[in-house]
Amino acid sequence: MLSLPAALLRPAIAAGRAETCANATQPGGSTEALCLPSPDWLKHRLVVSGPAVDLAAFQVAAAGPGVIPWRQAVGVLAEEWFNRMVAVPVPQRTISVAGAHSLADELREAVEACAAADAHAALDLHALIPVPADLLARGADDPAAVAWLWAHWGTTWPLRHVAARSDPPDGQGGRLLFRFHAADWSPWPALHAVRARWPALRFELHPDYETPSSLGPAPGPARRPRRKTDRASPA
């Protein structure tokens, strides 16, 4: 089994993301969506505090598989990986047809194992703000799907490496602490949505835009320079 499942998606999904991201627009026509083919994973800390009853309701609603259920079978991806490998001219090809079949199967198994390993996340954006069914059918590399994610989540990939901890409730209520990595930017739109849904709770998001992250298959393109005003949640 390969040790870098994220890298396995590059031939079939991430390779198409460069063009997808260039064409993705927000509803207002902006092309500012950040959705790099190799995401720049940014560390975040989210503190949620308030009445114990509301915290419990949020905790239940926020839990999910931690993935976006795009309606594209892994077998289709494996076939595309195989086709990409054998499409290389024979003089330059470093793998046989039989070897390409074997590697495609190995990649498929690795992706399935990765999905199984990430079967639960304490903070799942799709559980809180579901991607519409018609966009799920379009797939991860569809410009309309990417634009929706950017507009409603503020990041175009699911959160990764989510960790959660809760403090014992006291007379003033309780507190939940989440740590996670978000792709390319902070999920400010998602935060605004959950604030409106749970007005009794206080949400404090603390992003770390400076510390490099080792997540992702390889270092992505350099981040755009960020102004100090970018580091606070939009009003």
Distance CA 6, CA 48 (A): 30
Q: Give the chain's largest Cα–Cα span.
A: 73
Q: Which helix (H) or strand (E) holds 193?
A: helix 188-197
Strand pairing category for 160-170 and 173-183:
antiparallel
Residue 48's closest CA among 58, 38, 40, 36?
58
pLDDT attached to residue 32: 62
Q: Which two tokens stand for residue 78?
A: 């494996």
pTM to 2 decimals?
A: 0.66
Grouping H, G, I as helix, E, B as strand and the rest as coil, residue 36 is coil
Domain map of the chain by residue range? Answer: 5-231
Distance CA 8, CA 3 (A): 10
Q: Please give the chain's pLDDT, 235 residues, in tens.
A: 333 333 334 333 444 444 445 444 444 444 467 777 778 899 999 999 999 999 999 999 999 999 888 876 566 777 887 888 888 888 888 889 898 888 888 877 777 666 655 568 999 999 999 999 999 988 888 899 999 999 999 999 999 999 999 988 777 789 999 999 999 999 999 999 999 999 999 999 999 988 756 554 433 333 333 333 333 344 3
